[in-house]
Structure 1
Amino acid sequence: MTGHPGDEALAWLASTLDPDEIARLRAVERAKACFLETDRDEDVAKKLRWLLRNLLMRADPSLPLGPGNRREARCVVVVGESGAGKTRLLRRTFHAHPAFPGYGIEGSGCTLVSVDVPSPCTLLQLGRRTLAALGYPLQREMKEHLIWERVRLKLRTTGTVVLHFDEVHNLLDAANSDDVCRIRKTLKALLVDPAWPVGLIVSGLPGIAEFLETLSLHALDDDGNVVPLDPPPADRETELRRRCRVVELTALVVPADLEMITMAVGDIAKAAGLELHPSFGNDVASRLAHAALYQLGTALELAAEAVEAALEPVDDEDEGILQDGMVARAAFAAAYRERTACGPDANPFLAAEWWRLDCKKVLRTKNEPDALPRLPRKPANRKR
């Protein structure tokens, strides 16, 4: 049995690196594999346990558990701004849970399947990607409703009990009111399928929570079609609490989280065989939080990139990245420069009034709104 077709290409690529590059690669691997366990990890794990318990709940306690004798499934919603660390937190939780051995490994038969929602995405495209994730890529065109019928069938025949949709906001960005209605009905059909209800884990930007509130306002009729409840529930908030559990990954708070940030960065440096310079204190930790737009996931990414910069051979421009063999503030400045191409006056690790910088900007030389050159406008009547 041969390996993956790409194995030979990766082996060739690795053979082109010298021993020093391989050593740096392994050190950076260890740094980027570090994770910070916080209260939100336990919150997500708790919500996952709640979802799994509901999957095992019988509709008729006098009969055995199985298809046709299960209650409707539930939904866990994980929201946070870009860079909050949603995807990594969830996948780490899935890998650690004993119910999902082989998670993420193709052909493992894991009962939880994750689907990345691309940008942009339609409901039809999502159905195709879901079938592919279940091991059944479509080779021909099919109508949207037929694709989702096939999805529900494959969920049942593969024994998949939990479906994770990541970056769901990509599905909603370009959706009109009719599209949104179809998306709601499709997701609800997965939860209430009488033959095989599937638990949902949905993650994305905070706006998806409002969209999911109305999942509880639909039900299946006698023909298996999803229809609005008539009359709708009087208390929509109660319905949301009954069917969904929401976890919000909040932004970093300064100065309350500075000690946590410092400890996490120290662990990342240690994993790479380095130490954090004693000068890294509340000042640098505050700059790191600001540079990461106060999102924990981005802050940890930047810290790993600073360690990577510290491991690179030092040149004149980066002199001082390693001080006495330790990761210094200059390493964070170098990592931010590589990420954004911003000059020293627009680099939060170098600028005096760093708190005034807008760290969403790139290619800045100083802290001003119009630092980027403006391209000339094309004439409106230009001929083709």
Structure 2
Amino acid sequence: MLQAHEADIFRPDVTVLAPQEAVPARRERFATRLSPQDLERRAWKRRVNTIHVNTDVVVKAVARFDQMLADLADDVEGQCLVVPAPSGAGKSHLLARLQMRPSLVPFRDEVGPVRPLVFIKAPSPCTLKTLGLALYVALTDLELSATLKEHDIWRRVRHQMHAQLVSVVMVDEFHHALRGRTGDERRALVETLKNLVIPDPNDPLRPPGAEMRPISLVLSGMPWLRRVLKEDFQLLRRCIFMPIRPLGHSAACVKKATKFLELIEPRLGFPAPSGLSEHDMVQRMLKASAGYTGRMMHLVKKAAFRAIRSGAPSISQLDHLAFVFDEIFELGPHRNPFRVPDISTCPKLKEIEFDKLTRLMGTAQADIDPDDA
């Protein structure tokens, strides 16, 4: 006999909608009639969300990536661009900027789809099998059976890469390859990727008759992803490391942070100044972000969304920035850089505390070794 709550769920008088019918019905149920003001605020938030600032890291990474793409025309080996940085530092944003290169836009010719770049977020846990399954979905929009063996999965992945003329494989959150993996498992994963970069005529996964065409890699993740790459010296020697480093409190770093915030503020679109580039606010931003401009951008955007929603003329230090910081970190007023009267008395945040920021930004949390926290 069904329990009470089960009886409520399995109601025979309710018509069950097919999945394709359920989505519009649900949207209609929760839809609200938006006023012209609401529509303008929504569009305003979208504009704020697309603000980009070309930092030194972005400019250097784009230039180096463009050189990698040019080298693919001549080299018999590919390269591996590695972006190591802690949570919220801007790794995913940087990868998104690299994907915007015109030569990487997918298209279709008379044979079929041509996909110069394939991008995925590394599954967690990241094994040779789960990585292959994720790549196959990205290449085909189809899922392979998880019961297939690694060899069969990667044979199909490699055939798709060959057929779609893939030149770059980009994997975000690659540090997941460390989580719970044995040394043998990590080596197998890295060796498989190495065979993309340095084609091997005897590679059993290479499609019959396929040209010896290298594929370059772009990998991002937490700083200790270097440990995974050390599993294969041949791949490691083809790596170009482009770490995202924090700004300190030197005069030069404060000047860079000030310029960064100066470039953001006029693009926010508020009628009144928010004072983001004033000296005291710059110091608070440096403390709240541990010097990473990616974190600064995230805090500013979240505060801007709140200000837009409330109809405020500008971003307020207490009502918006302090509120957003409290909501993310839950550390109390004495550790909130936007609430303390004197920013020099605010203690430094530990890197492990920034993991929550990463989770809220929609990326997965990684296991952290005590030495790296």
Q: TM-score, normalised by structure 2?
A: 0.74
Match among 222, 241, 244 for residue 246 of structure 1:
241
SS of the counterpart of 1:207?
A: helix
How much has 1:109 moved relative to structure 2? 3.6
8 Å CA contact 2:276–2:282 kept in 1: the answer is no
Instruction: Say if 2:290 and 2:348, in contact at 8 Å, map to a contact too.
Output: no
Shift of 1:254: 2.0
**Alignment counterpart, residue 333 of structure 2, candidates 332, 344, 356:** 344
SS of residue in 1 equivalent to 2:232: helix
Closer, same or farther: CA 142–131 of 1 in aligned 2, 3 Å: same
Displacement of 1:199 in angstroms is: 1.1
What residue in structure 2 maps to residue 56 of structure 1? Answer: 73
Q: Does the Cα contact within 8 Å between 1:75 and 1:201 map onto a contact in 2? A: yes
After the TM superposition, which residues 167-186 of structure 1 pair with which residues of structure 2 at under 5 Å, given as runs?
167-186=173-192
* 1:270 pairs with 2:266: yes
Partners of 1:6 and 1:163 in 2: CA distance: 36
Cα distance in 1 for partners of 2:25, 2:249 equals 46
* Of 133, 138, 147, the match for 1:133: 138
Residue equivalent to 1:335:
324
Alignment of 1:76-115 (within 5 A): 76-95=81-100, 97-102=101-106, 109-115=114-120
Aligned mates of 2:196, 2:132 — CA distance in 1: 12
Q: Output the amino acid matched with 1:49.
A: D
- Asked if the contact 2:259/2:277 (under 8 Å) is kept, the reply is no
Query: Does the 8 Å CA contact 2:197/2:214 hold for their aligned counterparts?
Result: yes
Distance in 2 (CA, whole Å) between partners of 1:270 and 1:10 is 38
| Structure 2: gaps spanning 5 or more residues | 1-19, 202-211, 355-373
Change in Cα spacing, 1:51 to 1:302, as seen in structure 2 (3 Å) is same
**Given residue 98 of structure 2, which amino acid in structure 1 is its aligned partner?**
T
Q: 1:253 to 1:278 in 2, by over 3 A?
A: same
Counterpart Cα distance in 2 of 1:196 and 1:54: 12
> 1-side partners of 2:26 and 2:105: how far apart?
26
Asked which structure has the greater RCO (Cα within 8 Å, sep 6+), the reply is 2
Deviation at 1:278, TM superposition (A): 4.1
RMSD: 2.9
What secondary structure does 1:249 align onto? coil
Residue of structure 2 in register with 1:143 after alignment: 149
> Is 1:120–1:171's contact at 8 Å kept on the other side of the alignment?
yes
Alpha carbons of 1:179 and 1:108: their partners in 2 closer, same or farther (altered >3 Å)? same
Deviation of the 1:130 alpha carbon = 0.6
Q: What whole-Å deviation, never above 9, does each CA across 1:285-307 have from its counterpart, x for those lacking one?
A: 11112112322211100011121
Letter of the 1:122 partner, please give it. Answer: T
| Cα distance between partner residues in 2 of 1:254 and 1:9 | 54
Work out whether residues 280 and 329 of structure 1, in 8 Å CA contact, stay in contact via their aligned partners in 2.
no
- How far 1:267 sits from its partner (Å)? 4.1
Q: State the distance in 1 between where 2:146 and 2:331 align.
A: 47
**Helix, strand or coil at the partner of 1:276:** coil
Gaps spanning 5+ residues in structure 1: where?
59-70, 219-238, 315-321, 363-384
Relative distance call for 1:341 and 1:15 in structure 2 (3 A) is same
3-state secondary structure, aligned to 1:37: coil
